[in-house]
Structure 1
Amino acid sequence: MDTINGIPAHPLFVHGVVVLVPVAAVMTILGVVWPAARRRLGFLTPLVALVALVMVPLATSAGEALEKRVPHTDAVERHTRLGEQMIYWVGPLFALSVVWWVLHDERAREYLASRLHLSPRGRRIVDIVIGAATVIVALGALVTVYRIGDSGSRAVWQ
């Protein structure tokens, strides 16, 4: 999809990425570090991360189409290279947000406890490892979306 109503689709899809990736990352971090937020956000966190995950390839694909229509510069090349990295952060963000939600959903937690036979200490270790990985990936997604946006702005305005 190159255009929407004659307008390049890339800037339109990018707005979805620029909003949804940080929202999903912040919601995920809140769910890890603040149990009350985790209970309130529930399945909404992985759902927002899923929509962000869908938006990334749309923006990337539309960006590749737009790249063929604009002058090739070092700034455009840098933006393209950085843009291709976003999926490697949003995919794991989505997956980890689902894992974190499942680990803390009461029904899923009971099922997992009966199947995995983890001690309370074992569950705590799993929480720490998955929680740390989730926060690291969420922070990486935030930094990456910023770097891509900055490089895209520079490619347009310089």
Structure 2
Amino acid sequence: MPATVWGLPVHPLVVHLVVFLIPLVALAGLVVALWPRARRVAAPWVLGLTTLGAVSVPMATSSGEGLEKRVPHSALVEKHAELADGLLPFVAGLWLALAVIVAVAWYSRRAASAPRWATAVTVVAAVLTVGASAATGVQVVRIGHSGAKATWHDVGQERSGR
């Protein structure tokens, strides 16, 4: 991945995809988990968006690692990078829970009658989806806050020597 595009660092450009997609799929995951009608209609679409979100996370971390080498080292940048490295497992957990919901629904529609275990598995996957959605949303906020703090922490402060 190139370090810059049109003279701008790639990381702030790529990270906006993550900042948009991940909270969107976290909210959509909650809707799918908690509303059976939405589960039937939207779960495959939400899984597709979650797949795009999951692909965008390594792109953001990779571009962030490239940018980290080009900016002065600081504890704030270090904390941001550390938090960002932990996002993919949250998104993967959300993806997996949604995949189970979609797979059980698909199997149940094709079976002569819905298997007895389908409801229990769907309920467990829905509970896991709620937890993964909440955890993913919280992690994205923490990462975004730490990135903004690392970028803008000294803006607006008076400079000494004036």
Q: Same fold (TM over 0.5)?
A: yes
Alignment of 1:22-37 (within 5 A): 22-37=23-38
Aligned residue identity for 2:108: R
Alignment of 1:121-136 (within 5 A): 122-136=117-131
Q: Please give the per-residue CA displacement for 1:25-64, whole angstroms capped at 9, x wherever unaligned.
A: 1111101111222233242101110110110000000000
Alignment of 1:82-101 (within 5 A): 82-101=83-102
Q: TM-score, normalised by structure 1?
A: 0.88
Aligned residue identity for 1:6: G
Structure 2 CA distance for aligned equivalents of residues 137 and 76 of structure 1? 26
Provide structure 1 residue ranges, at least 5 long, that are not aligned to the other structure.
none
Q: Please give the per-residue CA displacement for 1:90-123, whole angstroms capped at 9, x wherever unaligned.
A: 1121222121122223xx2145788xx942xx33
Q: TM-score, normalised by structure 2?
A: 0.86
Aligned residue identity for 2:146: S
Residue aligning to 2:48: 47
> Residue 100 of structure 2 contacts residue 122 of structure 2 at CA under 8 Å; is this kept in 1?
no
Q: CA separation of 1:113/1:22 partners in 2, compared to 1, >3 Å: closer, same or farther?
A: farther
For this pair of structures, how many residues does the alignment match? 152
Residue aligning to 1:109: 108
Larger radius of gyration between Structure 1 and Structure 2: 2
The root-mean-square deviation of aligned C-alpha atoms, in Å, is 1.8
Q: Please give the per-residue CA displacement for 1:71-106, whole angstroms capped at 9, x wherever unaligned.
A: 11110000000000011111121222121122223x
Structure 1 CA distance for aligned equivalents of residues 47 and 53 of structure 2? 10
Identity fraction in percent = 37
Structure 2 CA distance for aligned equivalents of residues 10 and 153 of structure 1? 13
Structure 2 CA distance for aligned equivalents of residues 85 and 23 of structure 1? 19
Alignment of 1:72-91 (within 5 A): 72-91=73-92
2:146 to 117, 128, 151: 151
